[in-house]
């Protein structure tokens, strides 16, 4: 058997570093107190960020422990997928 191959010989250290910043395909986030202030209204800044994500083809979806009905009231105009009831409803 040939045991001359070491882990170091299989790759270069430079292979471990990214040459470009990766762009996510999707971003999911909690709502209350994270993306939504406690007033429960979408802020202008949040809507602007969503528009910029859409231009880059990055899907946004809210993730919440709330029911679909309560979440849909806030996000129905955005037409985005939702994760509700702590993942029980997608």
With a pLDDT cut of 90, the percent of the chain lying above it is 7
CA distance 52 to 50: 5
CA distance 46 to 37: 11
Question: Mind listing the domains of the chain with CATH numbers?
Answer: 25-87 (3.40.50.1000)
pTM above 0.75, yes or no: no
Confidence of residue 2 (pLDDT cuts 50, 70, 90): low
- For 25-50, write each residue's pLDDT tens digit: 999 888 777 777 776 677 888 889 88
């Amino acid at each position: 058997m040939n045991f001359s191959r070491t882990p170091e010989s299989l790759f270069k250290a430079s292979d471990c570093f990214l040459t470009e910043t990766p762009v996510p395909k999707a971003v999911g986030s909690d709502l209350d107190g994270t993306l939504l202030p406690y007033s429960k209204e979408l802020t202008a800044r949040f809507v602007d960020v969503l528009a910029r994500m859409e231009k880059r083809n990055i899907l946004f979806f809210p993730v919440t422990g709330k029911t679909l009905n309560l979440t849909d009231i806030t996000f129905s105009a955005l037409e985005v997928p939702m994760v509700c009831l702590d993942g029980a409803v997608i």
